[in-house]
Structure 1
């Protein structure tokens, strides 16, 4: 491995302390978001779970408290598919500063028909990308109040093979759920890279990092009842897949490292070490499409028009 991509030793089982820090994890009630919240809670930080389902959020916070003695974890209601609700949601977080946010929440539909948010946007693009885009605008004052806050955007390996069509971001021409999902995650990743570029240009103390979880399956994920229950049969059937992919607890590792590791820098991309699919987190070369600042700027401007906000309007 070249020195350009070498990193200091990092042990996913022995995370550095983060006492006094405050972290927000969107979609923290299940899947990768839950495990990111659980792992961050073990560092002594205060962790806020953003969830659109209060009952599931309560189950998640109870699970974390049962596994992490003294965990400082709570939840707020967050609906990324309703842009008008986000300013009020941020006010309800009730903190003076935010040291990091993990933009993890997402919708993944498997079957037609095409669905829309309350704002009239295609559901996956509107939630996964536009929701986090707008949320960042309202979080920015809290992020600026921290000494060196980080915005960590959770992309997807599924985005690597996709390309965005700026003339059909809403998938009106040819809706295919899996493709639309991949494109929504690619849009998120463009956002994360472009956000850091704009923050750097403004001389901001906030940085933006993009991560992806590789291949993360429920069947390889340890049980956290009632949040997630893995049967013995599911574990045995999934055993061969463990050679290539991993569970969602490991899928959270790149995001957790992006929050905690002082060696991580803005504008970087982090994912699993082995073929980008499994293993401990490492820095990756930014995927070629994401390195196009002209395209990213056009997507940014379009996103501003669609949401009515600019995340870097307050960035100094």
Structure 2
């Protein structure tokens, strides 16, 4: 978990080739996930977008193909809020190995009331954390079949100030949308670290890496119509914010590096270089509360019980 940056020659505009490899990006049809997929497609790899909406996935694929000539991109229907659908989604990949998955998809609610998935889980925790945990369960045989696969978990700066309530993971007693969102992202990051510990304990070739996008605003994000359209007014009004934060295209850089840079190691946390909010990606110290392996282990056990996915047997 060193904070030392890897090769200083990394350039977000000149990515290494990854021909013949296959990468899955959950939520790859919109937001940061779209830019992760667009940038990874320039490496020559096959990119699979996991999306709840076939129409939005088609729009994203058309945009990527228009901007990256020769890109190899396709989509599968993926609904992380529906745990029973995930095995079928993984089968739809129709590959014999997977070189990386970027756990990016997520739900962020701004207002009450509390909502639940069809499985009865709080919507943000159920989608952002439980869904990705269960998806990893079904993906692990494909990841293990690759020579050096990576599980890249997209956390959030919002998780830095949050702490988990292990007795109220579903926010039944104490629901506040922004806090619940931050805790769902924190749970994802704990999962990523605990997954890496368990993979290393059995000398697995799969590595688990945590990333976060810093401060990523729509108003600083270049247009990709119809996926995202930035008006002139929005662009001008966002100029002062650009001193502190960045657009979603730049928020994607940490995840792209975590997938492609051979110097990245499991258990590391990557985020923007400048105050953790903007700039090119760097390896940063794992946040103090994330380093608590006892919390991560308890969360792992609770998540296994809630999802019925026993990842432990696959990390052997």
Q: What TM bracket, shorter-length normalisation?
A: over 0.9
Structure 1 unaligned runs (5+)?
none
Q: Distance in 2 between matches of 1:196 and 1:298?
A: 15
What corresponds to 1:58 in structure 2? 58
Residues 120-154 of structure 1 deviation map (CA, whole Å, 9 limit, x = unaligned): 00000000000000000000011011001000000
What corresponds to 1:315 in structure 2? 315
TM-score by length of 1: 0.98
What corresponds to 1:194 in structure 2? 194
Residues 3-24 of structure 1 deviation map (CA, whole Å, 9 limit, x = unaligned): 9513212100000000001000
What corresponds to 1:291 in structure 2? 291
Q: Distance in 2 between matches of 1:299 and 1:142?
A: 25
Structure 2 unaligned runs (5+)?
none
Q: Distance in 2 between matches of 1:6 and 1:230?
A: 33
TM-score by length of 2: 0.98
Contact 1:144 1:315 in 2 (8 A): no
Residues 243 and 198 of structure 1, relative CA distance in 2, 3 Å threshold: same
What corresponds to 1:176 in structure 2? 176
What corresponds to 1:85 in structure 2? 85
What corresponds to 2:5 in structure 1? 6
What corresponds to 2:120 in structure 1? 120
What corresponds to 2:106 in structure 1? 106
Please list every run of at least 4 consecutive aligned residues from structure 1 whose deviation after the TM superposition is greater than 6 angstroms: none
SS across alignment from 1:265: coil
Contact 1:137 1:313 in 2 (8 A): no
Structure 1 residue 129 corresponds to structure 2 residue 129: yes
Contact 1:215 1:245 in 2 (8 A): yes
Structure 1 residue 255 corresponds to structure 2 residue 249: no
Alignment coverage as a number of residue pairs: 314
Q: CA deviation at 1:194?
A: 0.3
Contact 2:100 2:151 in 1 (8 A): yes
